[in-house]
Amino acid sequence: MKTQRNYATKRGFTLMELMVAMAITTIIVTVLVSITSIALDTWNRSRAELRASRQAKSVIDTMARDFESLVTRRGNTNEWLSAILDPDLGELGDKLKSENAARLIFFTAATDRYAGQIGTTTDLGGDVSCVAYQLAYRDPIDDTGSSKFKTFVLNRVLVDPKNTFEDLLGKTDSTKPASSLDKVFAASTYESGLSDPSNFVCENVFQFSVTFHVQVTDTTQTPPAVFTVPVTIGSSGKTTESFVVQGTGISAKEGSGGSATPAQIASGRLTAMEVSVTVISDFGIDQLRTRTFTPAETAVFLAKNSYEYTKLVQLPSM
């Protein structure tokens, strides 16, 4: 007796079914790739922002500690703080220029003097140190100048109290331009420390801006009005190219202080300073070594690859 075979149970997929399955698979793979791409991009940006925040924190915290113990004295002709745009440095960078080549030098009771070994035999006495900050464009490790891995580097030089007293303090007579704090420091052996890799603070710092808050009194009003004036170190807009704190008062070049007059600023009181840091991501630094930028491209590049951080520091009364 013959049995009838059931061919219906062995039927394969039709062409239409295969095309539908392939279409569904393609959509799923496309969605997965898109989600993965977005996740990786988000992870990379978060990683870059986290690293930038750590770099900015290193700069801001170090500078804040120095300024919180700022040392100034009235009733003398010494310079106690000098913040200027160094014309010899020009604009930093190769493909993209940083407009801030500020040079910051001041006296402070730094807690890391004598390598932090205060009270030991290494401590040679005194508590007034000199600190200098300067931005440069170079390799943070190789200081020969021939490296292909240059970046924006911020260095800090700390001069211990004994050397500060012997070589710097008291030799900055503001009545003699040749003996200003900046020039005395530049003529000293400590100047070379600003390019020494051992004094490295942070890399990828595209620029750092310092704004000094000066409390001034307008005696033309009755009663006299007291208000605070921000004075920013910079080369454009309502900024100044130099800000100097002397034993006889404050000196700032024309163009700063807004509505305050130079005389009001000179007799004013420095109450706070604000430091602003722009940090470029590692990916952005890599692009700087190969790309050139138009003004429009510069704005887009910095918006995508840089992060800004600011901190206000209250200063001791002067």
Q: Confidence band (pLDDT; 50, 70, 90) for 172? A: confident
| pLDDT score recorded for residue 9 | 58
- Phi (first) and psi of residue 209, to 5 degrees: -115, 140
Return the percentage of the chain with pLDDT > 70, whole number: 89
The residues near 282 (Cβ < 8 Å, ≥ 6 apart) are 48, 51, 204
* Helix, strand, coil percentages, rounded to 5, for the chain: 35, 30, 35
Phi, psi of 38 (to 5 degrees): -65, -40
- Alpha-carbon span 169 to 164, nearest angstrom: 6
User: With contact defined as beta carbons under 8 Å apart, do 279 and 56 qualify?
Assistant: yes
How far is the CA of 104 from the CAs of 80, 113, 194, in angstroms?
Answer: 11, 18, 11
Exposed / middle / buried, residue 80 (Cβ in 10 Å: 0-12, 13-18, 19+): buried
Q: How far, in whole angstroms, is CA 211 from its chain's centroid?
A: 12
pLDDT tens, position by position, 264-286 = 888 888 999 999 888 888 888 88
Contact between 108 and 71 under an 8 Å Cβ cutoff? The reply is yes
- Does the residue 301 lie in any domain? yes
Is residue 114 classed as helix, strand or coil in its secondary structure?
Answer: helix
- Per-residue confidence band for 137, with pLDDT thresholds at 50, 70 and 90: confident
User: What tokens does 49 get?
Assistant: 């922002």
Is 107 contained in some domain? Answer: yes
Supply the range of the domain harboring residue 284.
37-314
Q: Is the pLDDT of residue 260 over 80?
A: no
Decide if 16 is inside a domain.
Answer: no
The pTM is what?
A: 0.81
- Domain-embedded: residue 30: no
The reply to whether 65 falls in a domain is yes
For the chain, the domain total comes to 1
Provide the Cα torsion 186, 188, 189, 193; round to 10°: -40
**Residue 48 belongs to a domain:** yes
CA angle 253, 254, 260 (to 5 degrees): 105
CA neighbor of 133 nearest in space, from 191, 194, 85, 75: 194
Give the residue from 241, 130, 120, 252 showing the smallest Cα distance to 184: 130
Q: Answer yes or no: is 286 within a domain.
A: yes
Q: Residue 96: which residues within 8 A CB-CB, separation 6 or more?
A: 288, 293, 298, 301
Give me Rg for the CA atoms of the chain: 29
Residue 111 has pLDDT above 80, yes or no: yes
Mean pLDDT along residues 253-268: 71
pLDDT per position as a tens digit, 45-66: 778 788 888 888 888 999 999 9
**Is it the case that residue 156 has pLDDT exceeding 90?**
yes
Q: Could you tell me if residue 10 is inside a domain?
A: no
How far apart (Å, rounded) are the C-alpha atoms in residues 63 and 155?
A: 11
